[in-house]
């Protein structure tokens, strides 16, 4: 139990259903959908659509989506990859012809075809109880009638509004050329109209007709190579989830192009150490996590691309001998000199999770990658387009090398944890490249140190970034000094690392437990 003399949050408990999102309005929407007869997937899509309106810094219709679904909490999760692909005309030869050394994050070439809307509709068709129009209706109301900007959202908005590129983006997302302050009301009337079209026409409303015409015309005028065929051919797909064990818990992630495999590699390396003998904030424990992350991220940068290109990295999680050698390469007293580059610290995402009365569970994540994505908004759409394409590598032969109609390496990863073939928790930790570290750290805090779900999200965070380790301000100074003595170049982070949500099923106690990260505006709600 937490010390009530200090600021903090308590876990949420319920018997019928539990929702955890990064924004109270989204959590409230999900609960309302559940009370109207919707199931976990109905609630998840409704919450994601609301967040696409009220958290434009992090997510939107112009982004991507990944999901895990477990029926009744006792079935192996079904995984869906709703990430978009590069334009079919954008080849590495074309990139060289355009004299691109890399894909710039504000350019039209960074815009991959949005996959979120297709994902919502495909998941709705297979799993949902309610009509899609009813699910999308709350998002339309917020776009039309407006919403009040919460404090953390205002913080992110203020720190990143200069990333908005074109006039339409600035007109919609600024007030008198300035970002909104906490408590100010914002609307997006163009987005409301697009949502109405989708609610009535389904997939055709976004991938055929007027909406993609406007998007393609706009991107082509900026030099982009997108086509209407790219939108028409945009389809997410069901994939086989990957898994690995950590101390008798089975951890499920999506396969590449996500970096979920990196979280599994970190956990497999950590399993070789008796982490439980340390306190959760002990410098030796943090050191081991950092060193394991360096190894795993190094593999990511060398071997991770789309599913077709990532066979070698997939083999690592099942290679006991290699994992043993990797764990033995870690010096418990000294930092190694392995420095994997981390290119996109500061990217933003929304993660949410829902468990309904039948114990159906959804682990759900949406993102436009960096704050405000590409910063590009096609006229009369209100849609911020993602910049996920900046993740492509322009070196031929690299697994993540740019190719036509290819998915780039993706940072967002929803997770699930099973015990004795039953769902123990549905969870995710946001924050771009931080996510594998976050997934591993939070899970270790719960399993190795018996922290409750909320405490595991509250604790100070850290991440090796290029030539340094960035730690949050709340990490004790004595811990920082000890890390420095081991050879780590420790810097205090100017911004918090990510966010996170958890819903756990207590099978014996007959209750659901929810937790929501204090680094966001969110809340866990049940009924």
Q: Looking at the annotation, which residues are catalytic?
A: 349
Q: In this structure, what are the phi and psi dihedrals at residue 154, rounded to the nearest 5 degrees?
A: -60, -40
Q: In this structure, what are the phi and psi dihedrals at residue 44, rounded to the nearest 5 degrees?
A: -65, -45
Short-list 304, 277, 322, 356, CA closest to 42: 356
Beta-strand pair 468-471/490-492 = parallel
For the stretch 280-317, what's the b/e string if a residue is b when 16 or more beta carbons lie within 10 angstroms of its beta carbon? bbebbbbbbbbbbbbbbbebbbebbbbbebbeebbebb
Contact assessment for residue 352 and residue 21, using Cβ atoms and an 8 Å cutoff: yes
User: Measured between alpha carbons, how far is 20 from 240 in angstroms, rounded to an integer?
Assistant: 25
User: Measured between alpha carbons, how far is 13 from 241 in angstroms, rounded to an integer?
Assistant: 29
Beta-strand pair 249-253/78-82 = unpaired
Contact assessment for residue 139 and residue 53, using Cβ atoms and an 8 Å cutoff: yes
End-to-end CA distance of the chain: 22
Q: Bridge-partner residues for 258, per DSSP? A: 410
Contact assessment for residue 513 and residue 13, using Cβ atoms and an 8 Å cutoff: yes
User: Measured between alpha carbons, how far is 308 from 435 in angstroms, rounded to an integer?
Assistant: 22
Short-list 483, 484, 493, 427, CA closest to 463: 493
Short-list 153, 144, 208, CA closest to 180: 153
User: Measured between alpha carbons, how far is 268 from 289 in angstroms, rounded to an integer?
Assistant: 11
Q: CA angle at residue 487 from 484 to 493, to 5 degrees?
A: 50
Beta-strand pair 147-148/249-253 = unpaired
User: Measured between alpha carbons, how far is 336 from 363 in angstroms, rounded to an integer?
Assistant: 35
User: Measured between alpha carbons, how far is 116 from 350 in angstroms, rounded to an integer?
Assistant: 12
């Amino acid at each position: 139990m937490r010390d009530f003399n200090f600021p903090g949050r308590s876990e949420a408990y319920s018997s019928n259903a539990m929702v955890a999102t990064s924004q109270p309005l989204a959590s409230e929407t999900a609960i309302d959908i559940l009370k109207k007869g919707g199931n976990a997937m109905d609630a998840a899509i409704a919450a994601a659509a609301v967040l696409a309106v009220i958290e434009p810094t992090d997510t939107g219709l112009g982004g991507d989506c990944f999901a895990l679904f477990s029926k009744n909490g006792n079935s192996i999760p079904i995984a869906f990859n709703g990430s978009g692909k590069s334009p079919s005309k954008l080849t590495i030869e074309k990139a060289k012809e355009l004299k691109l050394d890399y894909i710039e994050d504000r350019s039209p070439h960074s815009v991959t075809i949005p996959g979120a809307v297709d994902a919502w509709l495909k998941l709705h068709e297979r799993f949902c109880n309610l009509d899609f129009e009813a699910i999308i209706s709350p998002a339309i109301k917020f776009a039309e009638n407006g919403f009040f900007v919460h404090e953390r959202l205002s913080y992110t908005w203020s720190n990143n509004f200069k990333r908005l590129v074109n006039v339409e983006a600035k007109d919609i997302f600024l007030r008198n050329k300035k970002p909104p302050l906490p408590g100010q009301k914002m609307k997006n009337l163009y987005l409301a109209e697009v949502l109405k079209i989708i609610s009535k026409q389904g997939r055709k409303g976004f991938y055929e007709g007027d909406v993609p015409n406007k998007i393609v015309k706009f991107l082509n005028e900026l030099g982009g190579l997108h086509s209407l065929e790219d939108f028409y051919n945009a389809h997410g797909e069901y994939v086989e989830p990957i898994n690995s064990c950590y101390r008798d818990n089975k951890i499920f992630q999506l396969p590449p192009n996500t970096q979920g495999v990196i979280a599994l590699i970190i956990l497999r390396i950590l399993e070789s150490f008796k982490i439980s003998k340390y306190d959760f904030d002990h410098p030796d424990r943090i050191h081991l996590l950092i060193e394991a992350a360096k190894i795993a991220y190094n593999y990511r940068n060398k071997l991770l691309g789309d599913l077709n290109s990532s066979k070698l990295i997939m083999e690592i999680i099942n290679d006991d001998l290699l994992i043993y050698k990797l764990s033995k390469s870690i010096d418990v007293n000294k930092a190694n000199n392995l420095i994997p580059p981390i290119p996109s610290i500061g990217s933003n995402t929304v993660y949410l999770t829902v468990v309904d009365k039948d114990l159906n569970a959804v682990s759900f994540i949406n993102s436009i990658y960096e704050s405000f994505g590409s910063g590009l908004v096609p006229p009369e759409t209100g849609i911020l387009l993602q910049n996920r394409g900046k993740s492509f590598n322009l070196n031929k032969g690299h697994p993540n090398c740019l190719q036509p109609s290819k998915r780039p390496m993706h940072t967002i990863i929803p997770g699930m944890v099973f015990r004795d073939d039953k769902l123990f928790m549905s969870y995710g930790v946001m924050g771009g490249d931080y996510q594998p570290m976050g997934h591993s750290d939070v899970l270790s805090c719960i399993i190795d140190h018996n922290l409750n779900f909320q405490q595991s999200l509250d604790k100070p965070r850290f991440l090796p970034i290029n030539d340094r380790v960035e730690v949050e301000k709340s990490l004790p100074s004595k811990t920082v000094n000890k890390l420095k003595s081991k050879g780590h170049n420790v810097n205090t982070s100017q911004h918090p690392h990510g966010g996170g949500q958890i819903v756990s099923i207590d099978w014996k106690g007959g209750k659901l437990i929810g937790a929501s990260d204090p680094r966001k505006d969110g809340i866990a709600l049940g009924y």
